[in-house]
A and B are shown apart, each in its own frame.
Chain A
Amino acid sequence: MYAYDEIDRTLINERVSEFRDQVKRRLSGELTEDEFKMLRLQNGVYLQLHAYMFRVAIPYGTLSSKQLRRLAHVARRYDRGYGHFTTRQNIQFNWIKLAELPDALADLAEVGIHAMQTSGNNTRNVTSDQWAGVVPGEIEDPRIWSEVLRQYTTLHPEFSFLPRKFKFAITAHPHDRAAIKIHDIGLRLHKNEQGETGFEVMVGGGLGRTPFIAKTIRPFVHGRDLLSYVEAIMRVYNSYGRRDNIYKARIKILVHELGVEKFAQEVEEEWQQIRDGSLRLDDETIEDIRSRFSYPTYEKLPHMPDELRKAAHDPLFERWRRNAVFPHKATGYAIVTISLKPVGGPPGDATADQMDALADLADKYSFGEIRVGHEQNLALPHVARRDLPALWKALETIGLATPNVNLVSDIIACPGLDYCSLANARSIPIAQELTRRFANHDTANLIGRLHINISGCINACGHHHVGHIGILGVEKNGEEFYQITIGGRADEKAELGVLIGPAVPYNDVADVIEDIVEAYLALRANPDELFVDTVKRLGVEPFRERVYATR
Chain B
Amino acid sequence: MPLVKGGKIQADEYVHIADDAALPESGAVLVSAARFLADPELVLQRREKVGVIWPNNRDVEDLVPYVERLALIALVFPSFRDGRAYSQARLLRERYFFRGELRATGQVLRDQFVFMLRAGFDAFDVKKQADAEAYTQTVKRYSVFYQPTGDGRVAAPFRRLQLRHSESAGL
Contact = CB atoms under 8 A, between A and B. Distances in A.
A39 B80 CA distance: 10
For chain A, the bracket of interface size reads: 35 or more
Contact of A5 (B86, B95, B160): B160
B156 A7 contact: yes
Nearest to B165: A284
A239 B147 contact: no
Interface in B72-106: 80-84, 86-88, 90, 95
A160 B143 contact: no
Nearest to A14: B142
Interface stretch (A147-155, A500-508, A524-532): A147-155
Contacts of B116: 157
Given A17-B141, A30-B130, A284-B161, A161 B80 contact: yes
A285 B146 contact: no
Given A14-B141, A22-B111, A155-B146, A161 B157 contact: no
Given A239-B84, A284-B161, A288-B161, A279 B141 contact: no
Contacts of A288: 157, 160-161, 164
Contacts of B46: none
Given A10-B143, A14-B144, A239 B161 contact: no
B160 A7 contact: yes
Say whether chain A's binding surface is mostly helix, strand, loop, or mixed.
Answer: helix
A158 B87 contact: yes
A279 B83 contact: no
A278 interface: yes
Contacts of A30: 130
A496 B84 CA distance: 32
Contacts of B130: 30
Contacts of A160: 83, 86, 115
A158 B86 contact: yes
Contact of A235 (B82, B87, B142, B156): B87
A319 to B, nearest CB: 47
A158 B142 contact: no
Contacts of B160: 5, 7, 285, 288
Residue of B81, B114, B119, B142 with highest tally of chain A CB at under 10 A = B81
The contact size tier of chain B is: 20 to 34
Contacts of B156: 7-8, 11, 151
Contacts of B164: 288
Contacts of A151: 146, 156-157
A31 to B, nearest CB: 9
Contacts of A477: none
Contacts of A285: 157, 160-161
Nearest to B112: A161
A155 to B, nearest CB: 7
A155 B148 contact: no
A59 to B, nearest CB: 13
12 contacts: A8-B156, A38-B81, A151-B146, A151-B157, A152-B147, A158-B90, A160-B83, A160-B86, A161-B86, A243-B82, A285-B157, A285-B161
Contact of A35 (B95, B109, B115, B144): B109
Given A7-B159, A35-B109, A158 B146 contact: no
A505 B46 CA distance: 73
A278 B87 contact: no
Contacts of A407: none
Contacts of B146: 11, 151-152, 154-156
B90 to A, nearest CB: 6
Contacts of A238: 83-84, 86-87
A121 interface: yes
B149 interface: yes
Most buried by A among B114, B147, B161: B147
A194 interface: no
A18 B110 CA distance: 11
A159 interface: yes
Interface in A231-287: 235, 238-239, 243, 273, 278-279, 281, 284-285
A162 interface: yes
A278 B95 contact: no
